[in-house]
Structures are given as structure tokens and as C-alpha cells.
Amino acid sequence: MEILLIRHGETKGNREHRYIGKTDEPLTPEALTFFSENRDRYPAVQFVVTSSLRRCRESAQALFPDIPVEMCSDLNECDFGAFENKNHEEMNGDPAYQAWIDSGGTLPFPDGESREAFQERCCNSFLAFAEKARKQGIGSMAFVVHGGTVMSVLDRFSFPHKSYYEWQTGCGTGFLCSYEIHDGEPYLSVKETLPGKNKTGVEDLYVMKDLKRLRCGVTTGSCAAAAAGAAVRMLLLQQPVTRMTLQTPAGVTLQLPVEDAGFSKTSAFCSVVKDAGDDPDVTDGAKVCAAASFIPVPEAADRASGRTEADSTELHESRQVENTAFSGKYFVYTDSAGFTIHLDAGSGIGRVTKPGLEQEPGYPAINRIPRQMIFRTAGSVCRACSFRGDLYLTLSVPGGKELAERTFNPSLGIEGGISILGTTGIVVPMSEQALIESIRIEMKQKIAAGNGHLLVTPGNMGKEFAGKISMLDGVDTENCLKCSNFVGETLDAAVLLGAKSVLFASHIGKFIKVSGGIMNTHSREADCRAELFAAHALSAGVPAEVCRQLLGINTTEEGVLLLRQEGFLKAVTDTILSRIQYYLQRRCGGRIRTGIILYSSKEGFLGCTDNAPELADLIRKGE
């Protein structure tokens, strides 16, 4: 768990170098301005603890305006007793003050608190809050407290250890620490001083692919939530926003830079630029914009209906919306605190035109999890500002229509722009899960359209071959489903989504792996094509010498040519088809029908399972 130990901003007494303990001073205007302008230099957190004194409360509010805060008087500054609100010049020559100086600051303050008692209460309270947060699974928290409190905590828990006065820190500064338990004892390891450099929250997130370290990024859903929250904050507070903090479903706290910010008494606008990390995402660098207003945007008209989302952000039945200033269908979030957020999509964000997706036809292509993030982030601002009433949010992506042509959206029936996506809020580079999800979405859509019998190919080569064989005459092979290397996941989705049958058309080089039970055909996962060819050849009665030659082939095309020359191609193909069918049925548990058509680039059609013509006919009929 990460813990920020931050000393409050400067007060008038701090500026005059006074001992300010229990004196309850406010921050100076300069301190508030500093925090406002440098908020993004402090890491985002999920929870904040402050002392009960005003200077800490104001600092916490300035640094973390939308984060839950708990106050604790045991974290208050030391009681300086007779020295309270005095400085060195005023006490110079005072015997009690000189004695305290001569002791190295170890004597109790006259009529005040001893360092031992002060440190004990601070450390006990710190530990109680830290352990409570750790057990609740909180990943990051901040203590916005006093210089003495910070010194007490780090003197007790720092590793490597430094003594009390070595941890002195200026107003508005502090430490980013890692909180860990070793052999039952708590430790704080200081990672960096604060304020630090500007960070978004994904700098330390990466994956390893082919021995390369690839940076993670943020989804369009995270960008939309940040932009929406920033626009609402500017509208309600009438103050500029340079960065927006939000919590992702993955548990990562983001602080995203806000651009193009502007606001008036009735509306606000801003954008957040998507950083996809090292993922080859077509939306990398795209601006996700949000406009917030108290009235519907003026250029929209003829709003007909909306979908209501309760404050739990779970979808409920659509309802008619009396306001007719928006056009088309949109989403509505009503919170028990008394505010309602209307969410729509403008230019560059697509609209759904076909059934089978998360949204019904006519709704903006803003998926469920991003909607929850948008409503949660904007809603937290509304609650913090005690806002009551209606807010209208419109998202847009400049150039989104052109970007969408390079995505799956056209084939999914999403027209006019990109989708606002992301289940975790974080982009994982070269994510297989993202591709699997796109396969599942396309399959769901086909099934919803009444196409329960599916033609599936690994890629464009399979689609091209399928369009040339007579068995598939009359089948819309251009719209077949492509499964890439994910044979197993495609079957899993077919079962879960209620498909009736799956007919695979594949090059033998891909599907010979399936004949060995390999359900991810990428060469990274497994490449035993020659071995499987030889094993099936031996099973089909091919002489041992030919089988040994098969073990030496570089490509399956070489194996096909060798078997044709030796007269065993059909026998071996039949054996391969039989084992492929066995493993396909084993994967789906016999709950759907499967069939296979195999081909090679040079020989063309090699063979098919006995049921392939029947399955092709069912696909043709669209049953």
C-alpha cells in the first residue's frame, strides 16, 4: 500500500517562524494557490486522513477535493505549551527556552507535551488508520498532517531508519512511502519526496511480451470519465481544472491531464487525450471531449427516450424522457442525493444500429462499465458540491468517425464513430483478452440477429477460401466470424451465447494443432505441426520412412505434397479431421454441433467432416 505523508500548507504563523501547535490558523492565500496549481504533482489516493486542525483540513480539501476524508485529533501537532505562537526572537534569553534548545529538543515543552507522549499518540493513530486501510484493500492513502506528526511517524516506522529531526519537511511537502508488514512489524520505505513530477498513474504499469517491457495505457472509458468529471467540476465550482482524479475498476487511481478547458455560468467544456501506452490502438492520441451544461445542448433536438440508470449504476428499463431538447436515445443516471445526469454522445462517437450489443439500437456506443465510471466520477463532484438538479453531459471525439473505419465498429453495426470502451479502465498492450472480447461481441450480435449457425475462419485467408468452395455457395462468407488463434475461446463463447452450431473453415497449418488438443494456435503457444502430421500418418498406416520424412518438414504444405505423392493424403486428412472433431466436441462438452473444412494453399480443398455439408446448408438458410 502507498502512503503519502504530507505537511500542511503554510500559515501566517509558519511564515513568521512561530511554534504553531494547537493554534487553529487557516492557510495563507498563497498556500491555497500553490496547492491548486500543483495538485497534479501529488499522487492520487483513495482515502485521506487529516488532523482536526483547520490548516490540515484546508490542505486536504485543496489537494484531494473529491476524496473521502477522516479527521483525527490524535494526529494534531504537538502542544508547545508556553512556547505556543512564539518565535525565536520573542523567546531569546528565556531560560526555559534555552534549556529546551540545549537538550536538543528532547525536554518536554513547559506546560505542554513531551516528545514521547506526542509521538506515542501520533504513531498509534497512524498505525490504526494504516492497518484498517490495508485490511480493506485500499491501495493508496494520504495523511495530511503536521511537521511534527510526519517526523514522529517516520522516526518510528522508517526503513532504513532515520531519527526524528532528520525527517523535517517544509510546508506543503512530504514523502511518498511504501507501507509493508515484515515478520508482523509495520515499515515505511520512502520512495520519493513530494511534491513530485506530474504522473497519470500508469507510469509503473507494464506487461512483458516476447522479452520486451510494454507500457500500459488508459481506455477511452477512463478518458471520458475524467473529461466528464472535469467539465462538471468547472461548471459547478466556476474554477479551471488542469487534472482530474478517478478510480478505475482495476483499482488503479488515475490523474489525467485536462486540455481545452473553458467554462461559463451555464456550461463547461474540456478534453482528455488518450494514451494507449505501447498498445497499437487506433484511438491512441485521440481527444475524448466532454461538455457539461445545466440545459440540453442547443444544437440537439427532438429527444425522444432515455435509459434510466439507478444510483447503483445498474441498468433498468428504458423510460420516456419529457425533455425533448436532445435527439435520439441517451442514458440517464438519477442519484439519491437529488441530482440527475443525462449522458449523450455527439460527433465522433458511434450509435448502435443492430441488436446483440450492450446497448440497444439507437443508443450511443458507450459501454456499461465506462458509463458507470462517468456517472461515478461526475456524481462524486455533484455530491461534493451539494448540487441538486439536472446536468447534461455530451461526449464527443474529433475525428472519431474516420478512426472507426479502422475498428470492428462497421462490422458490428456501430455507425458514426468509435465506441467508448474499457472494462478495467487500463489498456494492456497487445491484449489477447481485448481480441477475444471483440469475437464474443460479434458472435453475440450474429446470434441476436437470428444466425445461430456460424461459419468461423481463423482470418482473411480462410474467408477467401470459404468464398471459393461450392459447399458454401450462397453463404455470406464475407461476414463470417474470424476467430484468429482463439479456437477454444470461440467455442466457449458459442456455448455461453446459445449458438446452435459452428463450422470452421481453416488452413491445415492452423487446425492440425487442434488435432492435438491445442486450442490456441499461435506459434508462441505451441508449434508441433510436423510431429502431429507424423503421428496421424502413422495412425493411418503410412510407412515409417514417410513418417520420418514428415518429421523433417518445415511447413504443412510440404507435408501435404509429400502425402499426395505417396498416395496417403486422404487417409491422413480423414484421421486429422476425426481428431479435430474429437477435441472440438470435448471443449464444448457436446453442447453444440461442430464441423470442419480443411484446405491447403496449393492443394485447395482437402476434406471435411461428414456433417459439414449439412451445417453449411443451415448457415445458408439462416436458421
Coil, strand, or helix at residue 567?
coil
pLDDT-derived band at 54 (thresholds 50, 70, 90) equals: very high
Look at residue 357 in the predicted model and tell me its pLDDT. Answer: 78
Q: Are residues 403 and 469 in the same domain?
A: no
How much is the average pLDDT of 415-424?
Answer: 93
Angle (nearest 5°) at CA 304 between 301 and 307: 120
Residue range 197-205: average pLDDT? 79
In a domain, 378, yes or no: yes
Q: Do residues 145 and 190 make contact, with C-beta atoms less than 8 angstroms apart? A: no
Question: Which CATH number fits the domain that encloses residue 363?
Answer: 3.30.2110.10
Q: What is the pLDDT of residue 43?
A: 87
How far is residue 623's CA from residue 611's CA, in Å, rounded to a whole number? 16
pLDDT of residue 210: 65
- Whether residue 357 sits in one domain with residue 450: no
- pLDDT at position 412: 81
- Mean pLDDT on 154-162: 94
Return the pLDDT at 319.
Answer: 30
| Residue-level pLDDT at 326 | 53
- Give the model's pLDDT for residue 322: 32
Question: In sequence order, what are the beta bridge partners of 331?
Answer: 307, 343
Q: Which of 137-151, 290-304, 405-419, 476-490 has the highest mean pLDDT?
A: 137-151
Q: What is the pLDDT of residue 128?
A: 97
Mean pLDDT of 43-49: 92
Sheet containing 481-482: order of strands: 481-482, 453-457, 501-507, 593-600, 604-608
Beta partners for 486? 520
441 and 421 co-located in one domain: no
Q: How does residue 356 score in pLDDT terms, banded at 50, 70 and 90? A: confident
Q: Which residues contact 161 (CB under 8 A, 6 or more apart)?
A: 155
Q: pLDDT category, 460, cuts 50, 70, 90?
A: confident
The answer to whether the peptide bond before residue 355 is cis (omega within 30 degrees of 0) is: no
Q: Please give the pLDDT value at position 197.
A: 66
Q: Tell whether the model's pLDDT for residue 9 goes beyond 60.
A: yes
Q: Is residue 274 domain-shared with residue 252, that is, in the same domain?
A: yes
Three-state SS for 470-536 is: HHHCCCCHHHCEECCCEHHHHHHHHHHHCCCEEEEEEEHHHHCCHHHCCCECCCCCCCCHHHHHHHH
| Residue 505 pLDDT exceeds 80 | yes
The tally of domains found in the chain comes to: 3
Q: Tell me, yes or no, whether 418 and 449 share the same domain.
A: no
More confident residue, 480 or 526: 480
User: Do 147 and 243 sit in the same domain of this protein?
Assistant: no
Residue 609: pLDDT band (50, 70, 90) is very high
Q: d(Cα 388, Cα 383) in Å, to the nearest integer?
A: 9
What is the pLDDT averaged over residues 576-583? Answer: 97
Q: Is the pLDDT of residue 263 over 70?
A: yes
DSSP assignment letter at 108: P
Q: For residue 129, is it within any domain?
A: yes
Tell me what pLDDT residue 55 has.
Answer: 97
Would 205 be classed as within a structural domain? no
pLDDT of 292 reads 96
- In a domain, residue 208? The reply is no
In this structure, the answer to whether residues 19 and 147 fall within a common structural domain is yes
Q: Are residues 516 and 616 in the same domain?
A: yes
Choice among 154-163, 319-328, 544-553 with the minimum mean pLDDT? 319-328
Give me the domain span that covers residue 95: 2-194
Chosen domain end from 154, 179, 194: 194
SS3 letters for 298-333?
Answer: CCCCCEEEEEEECCCCCEEEEEECCCCCCCEEEEEE
| CA angle (456, 458, 462) in 5-degree steps | 80
Q: What pLDDT sits at residue 423? A: 87
Same structural domain, 304 and 405? yes
Average pLDDT over residues 448-457: 92
Mean pLDDT of the chain: 89
582, pLDDT greater than 90: yes
> Left if phi > 0, otherwise alpha if psi is -120 to 50, otherwise beta: which for 362?
left
Output the pLDDT for position 325: 38
Does 210 map to a domain?
Answer: no
442 and 579 co-located in one domain: yes
Q: Same domain, yes or no, for 388 and 454?
A: no
Determine whether 182 is exposed, middle or buried from the number of CB atoms within 10 Å of its CB (0-12, 13-18, 19+): exposed
> What pLDDT is stored for residue 36 in this prediction?
86
> Which one of 141-155, 243-257, 353-367 scores highest in mean pLDDT?
141-155
Residue 211 has a pLDDT of 66
Residue 299: pLDDT band with limits 50, 70, 90: very low
Same domain, yes or no: 487 and 508: yes
CATH number for the domain harbouring residue 127? 3.40.50.1240
DSSP label of 53: S
Which range (195-209, 383-397, 472-486) has the least confidence?
Answer: 195-209
Residue with cell 464475407: 478
Q: Is residue 200 part of a domain?
A: no
Q: Give pLDDT, residue 403.
A: 94
The one-letter code for the residue type at 64 is F
Looking at 373, 402, 427, which one is the last position of a domain? 427
Res. 349 pLDDT band, cuts 50 70 90: very high
Q: Is the confidence at residue 116, as pLDDT, over 60?
A: yes
- What three-state secondary structure class fits 61? helix
* Domain boundary residue, one of 194, 226, 248: 194
Helix (H, G, I), strand (E, B), or coil: what is residue 79?
coil
Confidence (pLDDT) at 134: 93
> Residues near 361 by Cβ (< 8 Å), separated by ≥ 6?
352, 353, 354, 355, 413
Query: In terms of DSSP bridges, do strands 243-247 and 348-349 run parallel, antiparallel, or are they unpaired?
Result: unpaired
> What was the pLDDT predicted at 430?
67
| Residue 388 grid coordinates | 441538486
The answer as to whether 203 is a domain residue is no
Residue 376: pLDDT over 90: yes
- Predicted local confidence at residue 114, as pLDDT: 94
Which pLDDT value is given to residue 327? Answer: 57
Helix (H, G, I), strand (E, B) or coil at 278: coil
Tell me, what's the pLDDT at 119?
96
In the chain, the largest separation of any two C-alpha atoms, in whole Å, equals 111
Q: Long-range contacts for 22-25 (Cβ within 8 Å, ≥24 apart)?
A: 22/53, 22/76, 22/77, 22/79, 22/80, 22/84, 23/84, 23/85, 24/53, 24/54, 24/55, 25/54, 25/55
Is 333 domain-assigned? Answer: yes
